[in-house]
Amino acid sequence: MKIAPLSDVLGAEISGVDIARDLDGEAFAAVLDAFHRYRVLAFREQYLNPADQVGFAARFGPLEVHDNRRYNLPDHEHVMVLSNDLRDGGPIGVPDAGDSWHTDLSFKETPSLCTLLQAVRLPDKGGDTAFACMTRAYAALPADIKARIAGRRAVHNPSKLVNPRVEISPLRKDADAFYKGQSARFAEVSHPIVRTHPATGEKSLYVQPRFTVGIEGMDDEEAQPLLDLLFAHQIRPEFVYLNKWREGDLLMWDNRCVIHYATGGYAWPDVRTMHRTTVLGDRPY
């Protein structure tokens, strides 16, 4: 097994190993170590089937069943299809997943620890995923901003309908009903703006424009400009790694200290299909 950094800020590629079959306890410990160090791992030439993807993901913790059940595989509820491919006029998967900067399921009390995404079909152009390191972003904040956010909690909400910073894709025909349903199912939650990583102890910025809509106990007049400042800061080029997918890639990322964004840039009949599995995390502190 070879582990090689992908950029100065984030990511390592892991090659020469079949992660579904070859990872004994010692090799898995090396993968976990690399995961904590590089935060984004690209396993090359995997082509995992859903059962193998679920088996590998489960080594990191309990798996989540995504709320958008319509796109979970019928025989593998822990695998959700992301795709712009069409069947009977409708998409076969979530067509707009990750179309603004976010960290997965931060609108839950216990958001996702990590996400595993297996490339099933890649478009001829576009389809890159951008990642930004929130540990670096936090460390680089000016002292006065660190003081303003210290001990503060941000409010997270899943609905795009209540978030003026994000757009609803025209591909998402079910958006109105879906987001209204999410609002009914999930009360707003708050999490610390500065999150401590449970494994490394490092502090990271834990806000992003997709789900973070306010700051607890702070008027919007003060909170919204502060969030705008944090959102602009957190995606400065020096914190970002842009992943260009290869056939067979399985990527995983640490949602506790990384935000990501599916950059798009392709349209049907150019098809992008991914299989996504998320691992349950702990309550941020």
Q: Which residues are catalytic?
A: 102, 104, 260, 276
Site size for ligand SIN (CB under 6 A): 10
**Of 252 and 262, which has the nearer Cβ to ligand SIN?**
262
d(CA 206, CA 215): 12
In angstroms, the CA 159 to CA 238 distance is: 30
Of the candidates 246, 276, 245, 273, the one whose C-alpha atom is nearest the C-alpha of residue 54 is: 276
Which of 14, 57, 133, 262 binds ligand SIN (CB under 6 A)? It is 262
Minimum gap (Å) between residue 82 Cβ and ligand SIN: 5
Nearest Cα residue to 248 out of 64, 56, 19: 19
Q: Count other C-beta atoms under 10 Å from residue 151's C-beta.
A: 8
Single residue of 260, 275, 277, 281 touching ligand SIN by CB under 6 A: 260
Q: Which of 14, 82, 166, 230 binds ligand SIN (CB under 6 A)?
A: 82
- Which residue in 274, 275, 277, 281 binds ligand SIN (CB under 6 A)? 274
Query: Is 129 among the residues that bind ligand SIN (CB under 6 A)?
Result: yes
DSSP output for 171-230: T-TTHHHHHHHHHHH---EEEESEEEPTTT--EEE---TTTEEEETTS-HHHHHHHHHHH
120 binds ligand SIN (CB under 6 A): no
* Nearest-approach distance from CB 42 to ligand SIN, in angstroms: 12
Q: Quick check: 269 and 121 in contact, CB under 8 A?
A: no
Q: Within 10 Å of residue 269's Cβ, how many Cβ atoms?
A: 10
Q: What is the largest CA-CA distance in the chain?
A: 55
Amino acid symbol at 190: S
Q: Are 279 and 35 in contact (CB under 8 A)?
A: no
Question: Quick one: which segment of 10-18, 96-104, 133-141, 198-206 binds ligand SIN (CB under 6 A)?
Answer: 96-104
Looking at residues 14 to 53 of the shown chain, list those that interact with ligand SIN (rule: CB under 6 A). Answer: none
Query: Does residue 98 interact with ligand SIN by CB under 6 A?
Result: yes
Cα–Cα distance for residue pair 84/204, rounded to 1 Å: 33
**Closest separation in Å from C-beta 218 to ligand SIN:** 28
User: What letter represents residue 128's amino acid?
Assistant: D
Whole-number minimum distance, CB 14 to ligand SIN, in Å? Answer: 18
Beta bridge partners of 102: 260
Binding span for ligand SIN by CB under 6 A among 53-61, 97-105, 187-195, 225-233 = 97-105
Closest approach, Cβ 130 to ligand SIN, in A, equals: 9
81 forms part of the interface with ligand SIN (CB under 6 A): no
Residue ranges in contact with ligand SIN by CB under 6 A: 82, 97-98, 104, 115, 129, 260, 262, 274, 276
